[in-house]
Amino acid sequence: MAREAREAEVKKRKRFRTIRNGAIAVGVFAIAIVLITVFTHKSNNNSSSSNTSTTAASTPTTTPKNQHQTAPAMTINPAKTYTADISTSYGDIKVALDAKDAPKGVNNFVHLARQRFYDGLTWHRLVKGFVIQGGDPKGDGSGGPGYEVVTELPKNGYPTGTLAWAKTSNAPAGAAGSQFFIVTANRPASLEAKQNGSYQYGAFGQVVRGMPVVTKIESFAPASAEGGPPPHPIYIKKVTITET
């Protein structure tokens, strides 16, 4: 009987060790699974954050632009003061808009900016010693909002920092769609030249802060006299209008 009792006790201890070892193995496996899951989730989140940051810096998220609009009604008050803060890939440009002397030109720009039309577009044409040009929803110089308005011409030409409307050579003087430029040299001859006694490009504002940003963007202009697109996209991230 004593022998049988000892054998039973041995078997009981073996079963206990087997159960204990199995429990330990299951526990270790479960912990490993949890650690792997947490590590994978963290890695994916880090990767996603990194990708989002890179994308946001190089290609701002934007919505499709309505290129089939009609000319806007007059909504600004020429007696008020308007400024535009243009946020770009290389910093901010602050422009004082001339609502008093160029109400049509300012109204068109304010209308488009308040729609967020310019947000995410590029500076698609840069010319050294001349201008930086943007505002084209197609990004190749051929786009616009789907309408054309005739705006006011400047009284004092195009000094450095002038904000003006771009137009085709066969469009009437002062014609404007959505494309605009900032003058980077003082009174370029081709802009100052008058036709039939008048300037040709509607001017509606003056840079009051951020000319170093304008100059930095201009520095990426191709070497050709006609200029062209920069070697990498340079974005207009956002245009904010302030009315006082």
Average pLDDT, the chain: 83
> pLDDT digit string (tens) for 132-191?
999 999 999 999 999 999 999 999 999 999 999 999 989 999 999 999 999 999 999 999
pLDDT exceeds 50 at position 82: yes
Q: Is residue 161 part of a domain?
A: yes
- Report helix, strand or coil for 9: helix
Residues 47 and 87 in one domain: no
Q: Is residue 66 part of a domain?
A: no
What is the pairing mode between strands 121-127 and 235-243? Answer: antiparallel
Q: Is residue 154 part of a domain?
A: yes
Residues 37 and 104 in one domain: no
Residues 54 and 95 in one domain: no
Residues 171 and 122 in one domain: yes
Structural domain of residue 12, as residue ranges?
Answer: 1-58
pLDDT exceeds 60 at position 29: no
How would you class 238 by CB atoms within 10 Å of its CB: exposed for 0-12, middle for 13-18, buried for 19 or more?
middle
Q: Is residue 71 part of a domain?
A: no
Q: Is residue 208 part of a domain?
A: yes
Q: Is residue 63 part of a domain?
A: no
DSSP 228: B
Q: Is residue 67 very low, low, confident or very high in pLDDT (cuts 50, 70, 90)?
A: confident
Which helix (H) or strand (E) segment holds residue 243: the answer is strand 235-243
Residues 101 and 220 in one domain: yes
Residues 54 and 86 in one domain: no
Return the amino acid letter for 111.
H
- Report helix, strand or coil for 44: helix
Q: Is residue 110 part of a domain?
A: yes
Residue 46: C-alpha distances to residues 53, 55, 111, 123, 194 (Å): 11, 14, 40, 32, 58
pLDDT, position 185:
97
CA within 13 Å, CB half, 125: 22
> pLDDT digit string (tens) for 188-244?
999 999 998 999 999 999 999 999 999 999 999 999 989 999 999 999 999 999 999
Total domains in the chain come to 2
Return the amino acid letter for 173.
A
Residues 152 and 106 in one domain: yes
Residues 216 and 173 in one domain: yes
Signed CA dihedral, 69, 71, 72, 77: sign only: positive
pLDDT, position 63:
60
Residues 46 and 94 in one domain: no
Tokens of 188: 């370029």
Residues 126 and 231 in one domain: yes
- CATH number, domain containing residue 161: 2.40.100.10
Residues 87 and 20 in one domain: no
- How many Cβ atoms sit within 10 Å of the Cβ of residue 128? 17
pLDDT exceeds 80 at position 2: no
The stretch 92-104 carries a mean pLDDT of 98
- The residue out of 16, 42, 58 marking a domain boundary is 58
Residues 93 and 207 in one domain: yes
